[in-house]
């Protein structure tokens, strides 16, 4: 009888722990930090407290989503930290208010991802952006200084409406609004601002500040995607100007090329010089397919 009670207790404990487990999040900061280091992925830290109302709202309306829980495990090492239990981490990451999400990138830099109650759709987008930036940074760290080295830029952007025979007065936003100077020059995903916009060859680019815009204007070809962002493989093979997607972007000899699919990206990586040795005169009115917004 005593043994049966013991087995019942163990089973009950296992069930209770599984119920109390927080899907998507790792158990401890130490575990999350180790996994982030080993896998070269961003460490996402969600700071909260039991007395925090907005924190409880995040638990109820955001973290309960299976889509969010899955995103927390895709390209991220995520952990929740109660500031009342880990004042050392609160101080380390300069946490002034909660809820707050902080991301520690593979290169050792960290940034505040969000502060306060964040809607599910917005939070999901932030997670995907953080994971994508982490992949870019990780690949940059592994790249050789040789200019022939190819490093892929991967980003999870939702599909945008098709663009067929774009007219000159249609505004095409380059690189989904990310600053081309920060991306090409420093391999960093930094959102540009509409205040610091500049049109180049029919495409509008946003910059993080005026100094980055000035850098771009001094040598726009250095920072703008090649061929107005058209897939170089399709351009050469089929003579069609189909815009690529930044999730299939690739750097070669310091220039950014945007492919349309995983297939054309793989082909580009196999024979990069075949698709970069010819310069094409592409005009905005010729763009077809999806924009690279």
Q: What angle do CA 150, 136, 124 make, to 5 degrees?
A: 145
- Helix (H) or strand (E) run with residue 245 in it: none
Can you name the residues that pair with 197 across neighbouring β-strands? 206
**pLDDT at position 150:** 45
Task: Tell me the sheet residues that pair with 258.
Answer: 249
pLDDT given for residue 185 in this prediction: 79
Q: For position 218, what pLDDT does the model report?
A: 85
**Does the model's pTM come out above 0.85?**
no
CATH architecture under which domain 2-139 falls: 3-Layer(aba) Sandwich (3.40)
Where are the chain's structural domains? 2-139, 146-286
Q: In the structure encoding, which two tokens stand for residue 205, read together?
A: 């680019």
- Runs of H (alpha helix) within the chain: 2-20, 29-39, 53-61, 66-71, 87-92, 120-142, 180-186, 210-218, 220-223, 232-238, 262-270, 272-276
Residue 170: its pLDDT value, please? Answer: 52
pLDDT tens over the chain, length 293 residues: 555 554 444 444 433 333 334 788 999 999 999 998 888 889 999 999 999 999 999 999 999 999 999 999 888 999 999 999 999 998 888 888 999 999 988 877 778 888 899 899 989 888 888 888 777 776 655 543 333 444 444 333 333 233 333 333 456 788 878 899 988 877 788 889 988 888 887 788 999 999 999 888 888 888 888 888 889 999 888 888 888 887 788 888 878 888 988 889 888 888 888 888 765 555 555 555 544 43
Q: Pick from 52, 47, 142: which is nearest to 103 by CA?
A: 47
């Amino acid at each position: 009888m005593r043994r049966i009670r013991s087995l019942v207790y163990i089973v009950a404990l296992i069930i209770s722990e599984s119920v109390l487990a927080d899907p998507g999040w790792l158990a401890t900061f130490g575990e999350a930090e180790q996994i982030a280091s080993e896998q070269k992925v961003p460490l996402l830290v969600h700071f909260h407290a039991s007395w925090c109302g907005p924190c409880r709202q995040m638990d109820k309306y955001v973290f309960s989503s299976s889509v969010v829980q899955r995103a927390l495990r895709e390209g991220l090492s995520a952990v929740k930290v109660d500031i009342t239990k880990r004042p050392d981490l609160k101080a380390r990451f300069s946490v002034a208010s909660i809820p707050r999400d902080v991301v520690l990138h593979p290169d050792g830099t960290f940034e505040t991802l969000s502060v306060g109650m964040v809607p599910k759709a917005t939070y999901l987008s932030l997670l995907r952006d953080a994971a994508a930036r982490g992949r870019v940074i990780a690949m940059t760290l592994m790249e050789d200084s040789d200019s022939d080295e190819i490093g892929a830029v991967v980003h999870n952007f939702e599909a945008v409406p098709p663009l067929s025979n774009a007219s000159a007065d249609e505004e095409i936003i380059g690189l989904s609004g990310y600053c081309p100077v920060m991306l090409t020059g420093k391999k960093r995903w930094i959102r540009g601002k509409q205040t610091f916009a500049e049109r180049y060859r029919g495409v509008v680019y946003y910059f993080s500040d005026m100094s980055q815009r000035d850098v771009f204007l001094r040598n726009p070809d250095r920072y703008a995607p090649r061929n107005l962002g058209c897939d170089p493989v399709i351009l050469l093979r089929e003579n069609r100007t189909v815009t690529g997607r930044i999730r299939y972007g690739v750097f070669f000899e310091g220039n950014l090329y945007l492919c349309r699919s995983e297939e054309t990206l793989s082909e580009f990586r196999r024979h990069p010089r075949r698709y970069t040795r010819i310069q094409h005169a592409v005009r905005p009115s010729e763009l077809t397919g999806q924009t690279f917004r």
